[in-house]
Structure 1
């Protein structure tokens, strides 16, 4: 195999490979859209002669981590031709990607996994989780708090990047695990006229509360299908709010849209305030939970010393990383309000990690103690996991619903 860049002239080959692997046959408009998405990506290919048999692309993202934004390539369109499976193609693509990211000083990489079983062996850990929430909107939404009574207004999707884009950016840093969005990402992904997963859904709608903006929701609707007896649906793609009262007003609005009887919100955080201020949890139900963003620590030292810490800790950690041996070793991690120090040491170990487990805990969304209880982290010093958990803690759980 020859591992090299995929030039723009080979973009159609790259798309053909992706469609082959993911069993897709998009229409020409969708193919054009995905071609435009791939253009700004770094594209690494595996070639067998002149045949493209493996692909790994990456968006040039940054990622919010506690206290900082860090360079974080967003891996996408990872694909290997079925004729070339189990020949080391994916391993070679990942090795080249990691080499480049390490050379450029990117401490992290991230992806959304099409199959959970694949990426753990490359050191990715599930760093954020999401839930799907459904509201039975056949009756008024029961709430335990008073909603914000300021007026709501609908915003044209074409105007939404200017109206809600700055607000999103201001709230993005309040949770770890989120990428910035430029106008192209707003219009090309979140606010597209047609939803590729369900062509019965309406174009995107954007409802805003407050001026200046105090919260907004992006949603799509579809009416009842009499032939299939499918009820009318409001699908919520995103909801951001300054306060619980603003969130309550937006949820109340979504649950009161005429000719619909279900509100379905995919990609909500595990600590979504709706789940607490709902007055009837039979009406507001969590119907699914899943790993969302998978993170890889490309440079353990740089990643740990770049984020902020919630409490003081002084622990000796031992990390194992078979894919990037420079990360492996024993070091003392000292954290406090001024940041963290990472120093090699020969002192006795308090906690032993695989790099995958450390990545899962890095944003504060997975507890070290839970992984120790599951036998995935070895606690040599009793109480060490709790000490590290206290230092990793964030005010809100990390979360993103921005797939790529």
Structure 2
């Protein structure tokens, strides 16, 4: 088995391979979109002789972390031919990816897991959570917060990035787990004219509250439910500077004529909507699930780049079967301004796998819960709670950007 690059001339072969594995047939518009996206990616192929039997793509991204941002590798299109399963193909492609991450200065890798059982053994942990919320909008939305009275306006999708982009970037800095967006990302990922594989969804609509500098916005589509049934509003993204602004946007969505439901497929686990709902039977959280999976590729760089909420002086005994440079005992020392992470021979306070450290890195998972589950070992009583306090963030990490 050989692992190496997929040249641009063979991108169509890679698309055919993905269609085989994911049981998809792509029309020419879909193929054109995949070509454009794959040209932006690192492309790792697995070859058995000449045939391509494995594909892994990695798009370069900038991910918000507590106190800043880091370059990361967004792993996608992971697929292994059905003839070559359980032969080390995925392991070989990821080993090649780790080398490329090191060369590109990407201390993190992230992905959306199509099969959650796979990626933990490669060091990925669920670093963000989402909840899906549904509103019964067949009656007026009951809220405990008075909506912001400023006027709302609709913005054409083509103009939206210039109008709402600055607010997105500002809120991105407040919450870890979110990606920087360029013009391509806004147009092809967030606001494409047609929703992928969703023929019953209308075009994207963007509503903004406020003047030249919006205080909030919502991106949504309307789903045609067919027949005489009322349609449904599908929320893609909502950002608001205050609860009152959020209330105004949610009320707008719930008041759209000829619809009876608002569905937000992904909202933060600490979203204000369930708290400000006057009737929790009207606003229901119908699903909670892991979202973005995180892998610390260069643990030292990742830990020393983020901010810390409390001082720490602990020795971590870290296991990392795939990347030996990360494995061993390290003393983590932080204060309000600095962080060091250095290899030592001192006794460990905590023993854990890189999978668990990756899950906790953005502030979304808690070590005390992992300790209770038997997934980490505490050698010094209270060490897990000390590290939790230092990893704490005001807002839980969250992302909606799929790739």
TM-score (norm 2): 0.98
Q: Is the 8 A contact 1:220 1:234 kept in 2?
A: yes
Structure 2 residue aligned with 1:238: 237
Taking the TM superposition and a 5 Å limit, the aligned residue runs for 1:344-383 are: 344-383=343-382
Q: Is the 8 A contact 1:369 1:386 kept in 2?
A: yes
Taking the aligned partners of 1:291 and 1:72, their CA distance within structure 2 comes to 19
Deviation for aligned residue 1:352: 0.7
Taking the aligned partners of 2:180 and 2:54, their CA distance within structure 1 comes to 28
Per-residue CA deviations over 1:35-72 (Å, capped at 9, x if unaligned) read 11111111011112221111111111111100111110
Q: Is the 8 A contact 1:144 1:277 kept in 2?
A: yes
- Report the count of equivalent residues: 402
Does 1:214 find its partner at 2:215?
yes
Structure 2 residue aligned with 1:133: 133
Taking the TM superposition and a 5 Å limit, the aligned residue runs for 1:13-32 are: 13-32=13-32
Taking the aligned partners of 1:231 and 1:22, their CA distance within structure 2 comes to 33
Deviation for aligned residue 1:354: 0.2
Deviation for aligned residue 1:230: 5.1
Q: Is the 8 A contact 1:136 1:283 kept in 2?
A: yes
Taking the aligned partners of 2:229 and 2:322, their CA distance within structure 1 comes to 48
Does 1:199 find its partner at 2:199?
yes
Structure 1 residue aligned with 2:387: 388
**Alignment root-mean-square deviation, CA:** 1.1
Does 1:157 find its partner at 2:157?
yes
Does 1:186 find its partner at 2:186?
yes
Taking the aligned partners of 2:165 and 2:324, their CA distance within structure 1 comes to 40
Taking the aligned partners of 1:218 and 1:104, their CA distance within structure 2 comes to 33
TM-score (norm 1): 0.98
Structure 1 residue aligned with 2:114: 114
**Paired residue secondary structure (2:10):** helix
Taking the aligned partners of 1:92 and 1:343, their CA distance within structure 2 comes to 29
**Paired residue secondary structure (2:158):** helix
Q: Is the 8 A contact 1:216 1:241 kept in 2?
A: yes
Taking the aligned partners of 2:105 and 2:325, their CA distance within structure 1 comes to 13
In the alignment, structure 2 segments of 5+ residues that lack a partner are: none
Taking the aligned partners of 1:4 and 1:349, their CA distance within structure 2 comes to 39
Taking the aligned partners of 2:22 and 2:134, their CA distance within structure 1 comes to 28
Moved over 6 A (4+): none
Deviation for aligned residue 1:202: 0.7
Q: Is the 8 A contact 2:122 2:322 kept in 1?
A: yes
Taking the aligned partners of 2:47 and 2:128, their CA distance within structure 1 comes to 34
Per-residue CA deviations over 1:270-292 (Å, capped at 9, x if unaligned) read 00011111111110001111111
Taking the aligned partners of 1:224 and 1:72, their CA distance within structure 2 comes to 39
**Paired residue secondary structure (1:55):** strand
Taking the aligned partners of 1:365 and 1:250, their CA distance within structure 2 comes to 26
Taking the aligned partners of 2:294 and 2:218, their CA distance within structure 1 comes to 27
Taking the aligned partners of 1:22 and 1:238, their CA distance within structure 2 comes to 27
Structure 2 residue aligned with 1:58: 58
